[in-house]
Structure 1
Amino acid sequence: MTTAIRREAPNHNTLTCTTDYQCRRAECVERLRAWRRNRDRSITKGTWEPLLPAEPVRQHLLALHAAGITIHRVAALTGLTYKAVRSFTQHDYGNAAPRRHRVTRETAAKILAINTDDFTAGHVHPIGSERRFQALVAIGWPTIHVARRAGLHPSNRTTIFQAARMRATTAQRIAATYDEMRHQRPAQHGVSATSIKRAKKQAADRRWAPPKYWDEVGAIDDEHFESMYGVTRREIIAQDAHWLMTTNGLSKVAAAERLGVAKSYVEHAFRDHPEYDPRAAA
């Protein structure tokens, strides 16, 4: 007979921590009780409507997207998950699951409270645009094709991302191009097999993540997120061992023990990635 282990709630901002995770924090229990009291009063008055039509929320999200406020940004501003926000417009992202048609008042209020005038800046960080550009290359679109579709000058297709900030209007064009091109096959739009292969190799060599990766991690616009796409465990061990040996002064044996691997594994990691070997830098 197995004993069920109660999982920790991912947050304490909604009712799910008490209903799904049996949270017993005083403030969470009171939140549930207040919700039930309000529900009972509304039922008595005949005004109980637990879910609202989701179409106004969907239209608002589309308007925000047109203004350059992405799904990822909405999730960050509202505290909702990326997948929860995307579920209102997911048909635009090529997902098979049907989009959401009903929404709670709480979720609707959070999303509808976002005003484009408050969050659309004249200039934005270029990381999201750069990642979208690279993701399209990773699925076979040559950089020149992406640049042309996004309205960028071919000679400026990579240097534009090197500045600290970029125009919000440019970021909006790139986001719209990304949403369109990610579901199209390059071969069906005049791109040769050789060019597709070359683009994919370029992305692989530079570890540019495809759209699917960014869908999963939900951080394409997060400038503080470090992509681990294409990074092997051995390289991570080499990086961590380098840090332990150079910063903490540990020996190779001690670093391996701290990382929970054999000394030979660290040696193999340094062999494959000599740029992290402290002896190579000496």
Structure 2
Amino acid sequence: MTTATREAPNHRSFTCYTDYKCRRPDCVTRYNERNNARRQAQKNGTWDRLIDAAPVREHLLHLQANQVGPGAVAYTTGLSIQTILEFTQTRPNKGRGRRQRTSPEMAAKILAVTVDNHQRGRVPAIGTVRRIQALVAAGWPLRQIAEHAGLSSANASELLRRTTIFAATAKAIAATYEDLKGKRPLRNGVDKGQAKRARNWAARNRWATCTYWTERMDVIDDPDFIPEDTKLRAEIIAEEAHWLMSVGGLDRDQAAARLGVARFTVDRALREHPQDQAVNASQQALAA
């Protein structure tokens, strides 16, 4: 499968247009604005052509050898972690090698970072952890979440155990969360088995869902806020669904709509809390 037939990992750079043939209106606008600015600069005689990226790569490797990683460079320069990694790492799964050319402006930003002046920019990890957990609960495997954010699966797994992370990493996960929370995994490259395993993992750990956080985004990054027990929430959903079906005469789809949750959430809650086997059996027959 070529990049032209795959969904772009993000829509924050020109590669989604050039490499993945993305034609979202906002991505097309961003690409056109960049090209228009380039053509105008060429007309004015102020256009700086791309330059060799080797000095930037050597500088990044020097920083890395002195314990200044890509996260710190990204935070200091305002560039994404993935942009920094492109100078030193190949991406064979996308058919891309290390970046060989770069703009003078980007090179200047990176070369200006030193062992002494870099900013680590660590922030509490709680909001990042909660966003990852919620996406997993929605059926997104950790590997796809990490890839979308420009991280490795190992890094994403490690984030779940961290108390502080780089601000640039938190920003990448936040952008990933906003992009994926409204999408269905099965329609975006995730097979049914992967999605089920992800949801089961989240259920075992009682991770809050994207739906839960929708009305609580003001506290998702607050370490002092403790989400209600999602198992208790499942019990409440089951109790209310039983009542709607037995007294209100609704089927499972109608009960889910009334409760404002997905059908599979009602199914799972009823399996975990079978309060009335007779109602369960009749409604399952009706849904069959």
With the length of structure 1 as denominator, give the TM-score of the two structures: 0.41
With the length of structure 2 as denominator, give the TM-score of the two structures: 0.40
